[in-house]
Amino acid sequence: MDAPSSARALPKDQRQQREISSSLRNILRHISALPVVGRPLASFTVSSGIGRDRPPALIDRLHNEILLYIFEILVEDAHTPFRGSWSVEEPRIVNISLSPKQQAQTTRPELVLSAVCRRWRNLAVHDPLLWNHINFRNEPTPCVRSQTYLTRSQQAWIVAEARVGNAPSGTEAELVAYFNEAFTVLFPHVRRCRHLGLQAPSLTQLRYCLAQIMEGREAEAECLRSVEFGARQPAMWGVIMEFLFHDDALGEYWRHRGQWVTALTLRGVLLPWTWIEWYSNLTHLTLTFRNNIRSQMENSRMPSKLTFLQILSRCPELKELELTGFRFSDPMYPGTAFEDPLHFDKLTAMRFSGFDPEHLDWLLTEIEAPYLRFFFYRTERGSLADVRNFLLRYAGPGSTLKALWVKALPGEGIGSTSTQLHSTLSFLPELEDLTIQHNHFHNSEISALTPRIHAGGPAVQCPKLKVLRLIGASFNFRHIATMVKERRTSSELPPPPPGQHDHRTIKLQILQISGMQASMPFAQTSAKEMMRESVDNLLWDDLQPLSSSSDGRVSTFAPFGFSF
Distance CA 485, CA 480 (A): 9
3-class state of residue 64 by DSSP: helix
- Beta strand 35-36 with 39-40: parallel, antiparallel or unpaired? antiparallel
547 vs 307, residue with greater confidence? 307
Residue 544, pLDDT above cutoff 50: no
Distance CA 284, CA 264 (A): 6
Most confident of 72-76, 148-152, 187-191: 148-152
Q: How confident is the model at residue 412 (pLDDT cuts 50, 70, 90)?
A: very low
Residue 258 has a pLDDT of 58
Residue 235 has a pLDDT of 47
Q: How confident is the model at residue 414 (pLDDT cuts 50, 70, 90)?
A: very low
Least Cα distance to 1 among 202, 156, 188, 160 occurs for 156
Summarize the confidence of residues 307-334 as an average pLDDT. Answer: 79
Summarize the confidence of residues 339-359 as an average pLDDT. Answer: 82
C-beta of residue 435 within 8 angstroms of C-beta of residue 469: yes
Summarize the confidence of residues 50-77 as an average pLDDT. Answer: 66
Residue 280, pLDDT above cutoff 50: yes
**DSSP structural state of residue 41:** G
- Three-state SS string across 218-287, please? CCCHHHCCEEEEECCCCCHHHHHHHHHHCCCHHHHHHHHHHCCCCEEEEECCCCCCCCHHHHHHCCEEEE
Residue 267, pLDDT above cutoff 50: yes
Residue 527, pLDDT above cutoff 50: yes
535 vs 555, residue with greater confidence? 535
Residue 269, pLDDT above cutoff 50: yes
Q: How confident is the model at residue 100 (pLDDT cuts 50, 70, 90)?
A: very low
For the chain, report the end-to-end CA distance as a whole number of angstroms.
Answer: 27
Other beta carbons within 10 angstroms of residue 343's beta carbon come to 12
Residue 222, φ and ψ in degrees, nearest 5: -65, -20
Please give the torsion angle defined by the CA atoms of residues 557, 562, 563 and 564, in that order, rounded to the nearest 10 degrees: -150
Q: How confident is the model at residue 326 (pLDDT cuts 50, 70, 90)?
A: confident
pLDDT digits (tens, 9 = 90+) for 179-224: 778 888 888 888 788 888 887 776 567 667 777 776 655 444 567 7
3-class state of residue 388 by DSSP: helix
Please calculate the CA angle 522-525-529 and round it to the nearest 5 degrees: 145
Q: How confident is the model at residue 283 (pLDDT cuts 50, 70, 90)?
A: confident
454 vs 12, 98, 460, 501, CA distance in Å? 52, 51, 10, 11
Least Cα distance to 199 among 101, 269, 139 occurs for 269
Mean pLDDT (the chain) is 65
Distance CA 391, CA 82 (A): 29
531 vs 182, 187, 488, 555, CA distance in Å? 49, 54, 10, 18
Residue 51 has a pLDDT of 41
Distance CA 400, CA 113 (A): 38
Residue 253, pLDDT above cutoff 80: no
Q: How confident is the model at residue 275 (pLDDT cuts 50, 70, 90)?
A: low
496 vs 104, residue with greater confidence? 496
Which sign, positive or negative, has the C-alpha torsion 388, 390, 394, 400?
negative
Q: How confident is the model at residue 79 (pLDDT cuts 50, 70, 90)?
A: low
Least Cα distance to 409 among 385, 375, 439, 441 occurs for 439
Residue 249 has a pLDDT of 42
Share of the chain above pLDDT 70, in %: 48
427 vs 138, residue with greater confidence? 427
Q: How is the chain split into domains, by residue range?
A: 402-491+504-514
Distance CA 505, CA 463 (A): 4
Residue 5 has a pLDDT of 43
Distance CA 389, CA 393 (A): 7
Distance CA 201, CA 333 (A): 37
Helix 385-394 to helix 357-366 angle (10° resolution) is: 10
pTM for the structure as a whole: 0.72
Residue 331 has a pLDDT of 63
- Beta strand 158-162 with 133-135: parallel, antiparallel or unpaired? parallel
Residue 406 has a pLDDT of 78
Residue 322, pLDDT above cutoff 60: yes
Residue 336 has a pLDDT of 55
Residues 6 or more apart from 553 whose CB is under 8 A from it? 32, 42, 94, 95
Residue 382, sorted as left (phi over 0), alpha (psi -120 to 50) or beta, turns out to be: left
Residue 112 has a pLDDT of 74
Least Cα distance to 564 among 446, 406, 430, 432 occurs for 406
547 vs 502, residue with greater confidence? 502
Q: How confident is the model at residue 109 (pLDDT cuts 50, 70, 90)?
A: confident
Burial (CB count within 10 angstroms: exposed 0-12, middle 13-18, buried 19+), residue 543: exposed
Distance CA 144, CA 428 (A): 50
Distance CA 284, CA 564 (A): 22
Please calculate the CA angle 323-178-167 and round it to the nearest 5 degrees: 50
C-beta of residue 531 within 8 angstroms of C-beta of residue 538: yes
Distance CA 97, CA 103 (A): 8
pLDDT digits (tens, 9 = 90+) for 433-449: 888 776 555 565 666 67
Distance CA 367, CA 386 (A): 14
Residue 99 has a pLDDT of 39
Residue 27 has a pLDDT of 57
- Beta strand 474-475 with 342-343: parallel, antiparallel or unpaired? unpaired
Helix 236-245 to helix 203-215 angle (10° resolution) is: 10
Residue 103, pLDDT above cutoff 60: no
Distance CA 39, CA 32 (A): 9
Least Cα distance to 372 among 393, 341, 354, 358 occurs for 393
Residue 431 has a pLDDT of 85
Q: How confident is the model at residue 76 (pLDDT cuts 50, 70, 90)?
A: confident
Residue 278 has a pLDDT of 67
Residue 123 has a pLDDT of 87
Distance CA 331, CA 434 (A): 32
